[in-house]
Chain A
Amino acid sequence: MNKTSYFNQCLARHEELLFQELAQASMWKPEYVGIDYIQSKEIQGNTVEEVVDNCIKEMKADGLVKDASYKQGPEGILLKLVVRGCMHMEKEVMLKKNGVKPYCCPITNMIFDRILELLGYEITFLGGNLEVDEETGECVIKCGIWESAEKVGETVSDWKNF
């Protein structure tokens, strides 16, 4: 077994425990998982696009993901991430096998952290909208990012078909 497998197994067991204790509320808790890595990097950017691009560049360079892409919804709230070849895929697959819908994506947490800290956004939200496809090795993540408190609740749109 390689060290990545061991590490993913440990993470999966922790997430299972949290889910068992908190049920659906567990999705609100692991926001800090992964952020120490991204905070150790000199990520720059003045826009969401620049920040996300620069985070992905670092993560690819260090082999955390093979590739990742994203697009923003028209109102600037929805951020759809597509992550391929993530080093945490094994963790997500293990959770799914054990009947727990994956809810903690360190890659998303890192991007959120930089959007919040560098751009001063008010709030980000993943909420378990994380689809893991072990066949294709791809995760699709639909999350919300709000620039200011006033923008929260201002508008809604169809995220399902975006």
Chain B
Amino acid sequence: MGDILDVISTRKSIRRYKPEPIPDELLFKVLEAGRWAPTGENDQPWIFIVVTDPATRKRIGELGRIETGAFCTAEYGMGRLQERFAGVKDPTNRERVMRMMYSGETSQIATNAPVIIVVAGTVNALNTPYDLCAAIENMLLEAHALGLGGVWVEGPAGPTRRKKIFKELLGIPTGMGEYHIQAYIAFGWPLEKRKHPRPKKPLEDLVHWEKFGNKERN
């Protein structure tokens, strides 16, 4: 069995795509990866809604833009967005980046991705949200291994009211006791250069041995 650490450690979120469609053969491989995700009690609560229709994608992109825009406008108002980007030295660039955030443009990804997969699932299962997240990660890794780019977008599936609109748009029953919508994943051929992923915390900062707080291995 091959070690997949290279696939895992070279994946990064890709938000800009070439307009070319993804061949069905690759799309089905990505979906297949989702199907094999770990799932509590083997419940497999997931459903994957593949959306290619430009009008639907545009509407989903707009839902995400509004949500991120509202959140980041509040973050700017409270001074937290400025703190977050204080490290960007060039003031013009800093303002440009913050504007992308509070305008919500940064979350309009669905509009320009050739395909998105909306990940939802029945709530009549033991661990629905966690199972769905595992499926998302599987699909992102498979896409990366196939040379595709992808990104996990929570936006329109986050706030309760927005989630209802998102469900209505896709024809998912909106009752709180029926389906949970976790996120969508946007996919496409990467337009961005595949730079190395953003820096990660070193392992020694993350690992505790035997008990919380023990950083030294006995």
Contact = CB atoms under 8 A, between A and B. Distances in A.
A159 interface: yes
Interface in A121-160: 122-125, 127, 129, 142-144, 146, 149, 152-154, 156-160
Interface string B64-78: 011101111111111
B38 interface: no
Contacts of B67: 123
A149 B61 CA distance: 12
A125 B70 contact: yes
Nearest to A156: B76
A159 B77 contact: yes
Given A29-B159, A116-B161, A153-B103, A127 B71 contact: yes
Given A29-B160, A122-B66, A123-B70, A156 B102 contact: yes
B158 A142 contact: no
A78 B72 CA distance: 13
A125 B159 CA distance: 10
A146 B70 CA distance: 8
Interface in B96-124: 99, 102-105
Contacts of A127: 71, 74-75
A154 to B, nearest CB: 8
A30 B159 CA distance: 8
Interface string B128-166: 000000000000000000000000001000111110000
B160 A160 contact: no
Contacts of A152: 65-66, 69-70, 73, 103-104
A64 to B, nearest CB: 21
A37 to B, nearest CB: 17
Nearest to A151: B69
A32 to B, nearest CB: 6
Q: Interface extent on B, as a size class?
A: 20 to 34
A31 interface: yes
Interface in A95-132: 116, 122-125, 127, 129
Given A28-B160, A116-B161, A159-B77, A123 B102 contact: no
A110 B65 CA distance: 25
A25 B182 CA distance: 12
Contacts of B160: 28-32
A48 interface: no
A129 B62 CA distance: 24
Contacts of A65: none
Nearest to B101: A153
A30 B161 CA distance: 10
B79 interface: yes
Nearest to A125: B70
Interface in B40-68: 62, 65-67
A122 B159 CA distance: 13
Given A123-B66, A149-B66, A156-B102, A28 B158 contact: yes
Given A149-B62, A156-B102, A25 B77 contact: no
Given A152-B103, A153-B65, 7 more contacts: A29-B160, A123-B67, A125-B73, A127-B71, A152-B69, A153-B99, A158-B77
Interface of B: 62, 65-67, 69-79, 99, 102-105, 154, 158-162
8 contacts: A32-B160, A125-B74, A127-B75, A142-B74, A146-B70, A157-B77, A159-B77, A160-B77
The 4 A-B pairs of least Cβ separation, nearest first, read: A159-B77, A153-B103, A153-B69, A152-B69
